[in-house]
Chain A
């Protein structure tokens, strides 16, 4: 975007107004039409057909937190994409995973990443973890009109809280309501099954490797019972994306590592299709 083609080319007043460190505040002053929440939708009958992202899971472990997602996007009963990316780093210490309308979700994540980076550059300091979570709330709330037409975006926000020294998980609803989850959380169409699996497998003090196995098990169970969630695709070498945040920052598990875990899970499930069994009492 050019600074201002109509006048001398100097930066317009909105660029030089001191005060706000928020990129979204700046956008709403300078070019409000770019903000997703300001778009006027024509009234439509029924739902709009667009690719939807499905299941996202998160789990805390000793010294960090993991966010993982399956790779499928569906449109009605069709698979729209097999290798979609639904978990993104938000900044050095946090990540966001999205379920819901893929196009809108990707735009929201891009704006959210920029919001965090912009604040950091202008202020010279990072937003607090709560501050980041609240900014995401505001953005989801801005999407409410779209959500009411069936284009909802429901993320999980996960990261390492540098001030408190622990991994934290926030889940959201379509109205922007946020709540902190303890231990584990899931969102998206397969979340019911994934949450059930994690409920039985989770315990305090997991190691990083155990936590990686846990999230892939949960995604496997989600794919087992939800047609919109994709399981590990051994033939095409498409595996769940697993992101780890710890005091060392953000790290994405390599494809080699996640394929190894996924393969050993598949191996075990050949004998026990429902996966590991929990104690009865």
Chain B
């Protein structure tokens, strides 16, 4: 019988972190940004059906980079957590902070338990507030830590480069069209400094729009509305016509499905 090699705990953790990070880096990056009327999620996704962004609850959205089956599981877990909490207490008692905590505990436990392979995912949980000051964005890396982000956040493959770029370019109070163009610009940057074109049909875009009259603020931006926003001149598109844009395409978005 052979004696197992001694591996120091530091080394074991470093190996697991390395494993998770490599897995996440294989996926494409996505960005989450604040704009005047809420929070927008933008990512490159060739699939129309397998979403990276989704609705968790009235004001809470979810974004994930990494391995699909793992984050899909976490997403459904989050929807169940939020719905159960809202049913037991009240819809107002479901918060992004609470959800981020549960995700952090889940990811942290899986990361440090020797019996399980670490999840190769990085999550973003965002909540849109009644005003921009009330917006919350949490980034949850693979190891169960929580980072409270402001303005913009990028996760996935080339997230460091993209974050730096966004930190420099993003301002508070930008319109949806402006912020969308900035996001596409950021996502088009390659690791080696080059740029490539991302066509509109490969973009997945969703918003948490605080001006939406419905209780549920999450909405996917697709088809004609997305094309119009990408074409719109940043200066020409004022915040006031953004909500009417959103409403107008809602019907067409539904009929597309």
Contacts and interface: CB of A to CB of B under 8 A. Distances in A.
Nearest to A115: B83
A18 B81 contact: no
B87 A111 contact: yes
Of B49, B88, B105, which is in contact with the most chain A CB atoms at under 10 Å from its CB?
B105
A16 interface: yes
B192 interface: no
Interface centre among B56, B79, B86 (most CB of A within 10 A): B79
Contacts of B80: 14-15, 23, 26, 30, 118
Looking at chain A's contact residues, is the secondary structure mostly helix, strand, loop, or mixed?
helix
Contacts of B54: 121, 124
Interface residues of B, number: 30
Nearest to B74: A16
B148 to A, nearest CB: 19
Nearest to A15: B77
Interface string B64-90: 000000001110110111011111110
Given A3-B102, A9-B102, A9-B105, A18 B76 contact: yes
Interface in B30-76: 49, 51, 54-56, 72-74, 76
A30 B84 contact: yes
Contacts of A1: 84-85, 88-89
Interface in B105-125: 105-106, 108-110
Contacts of B83: 23, 114, 117-118, 121
B257 interface: yes
A110 B87 contact: yes
Interface residues of A, number: 25
B109 to A, nearest CB: 4
A78 interface: no
Contacts of B85: 1
Interface of A: 1, 3, 8-11, 14-16, 18, 23, 26-27, 30-31, 34, 110-111, 114, 117-118, 121-122, 124-125
Given A9-B109, A121-B55, 5 more contacts: A8-B109, A9-B101, A11-B81, A15-B76, A16-B74
6 contacts: A9-B102, A10-B106, A10-B109, A11-B103, A31-B84, A121-B83
